[in-house]
């Protein structure tokens, strides 16, 4: 499952009123896919997607360490 973050790159503050989300410059905020669709065309925002690959990689490393102890 993907998680999204949006960061305000222009201006100091921005409030998305219907969703009641406050953005401050250069501070990433967790958002859902609905908000991504709203912000995708706005030049003031940088929207990024985080995948769960990090979690999977960490699990694989732990499994490898356990098997090397045997």
Domain ranges of the chain: 3-69
At the top level of CATH, which class does the domain 3-69 belong to? alpha beta
Q: What DSSP state is assigned to residue 3? A: E
Q: Could you tell me the CA-to-CA distances from 18 to 38, 56, 60 in Å, in that order?
A: 11, 35, 41
**pLDDT band, residue 19 (cuts 50/70/90):** confident
Provide mean pLDDT across the span 14-35: 92
Quick one: pLDDT at residue 14? 92
DSSP states of 8-53 as a string? E-SSSEEEETTTTEEEEBT--EEE-HHHHHHHTT-TTEEEEEE-TH
Confidence check: pLDDT of 1 > 80: no
Confidence check: pLDDT of 22 > 80: yes
Contact, 43 vs 50, CB < 8 A? no
Quick one: pLDDT at residue 55? 45
Note if the pTM is more than 0.75: no
């Amino acid at each position: 499952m993907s998680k999204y973050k949006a960061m305000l790159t222009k201006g100091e503050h921005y409030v998305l009123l219907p969703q009641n989300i406050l953005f401050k410059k250069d501070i990433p905020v967790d958002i859902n896919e609905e908000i991504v669709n709203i912000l995708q065309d706005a030049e003031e925002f940088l929207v990024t997607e985080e995948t769960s690959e990090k979690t999977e990689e960490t699990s694989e490393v732990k499994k490898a360490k356990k098997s090397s102890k045997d």
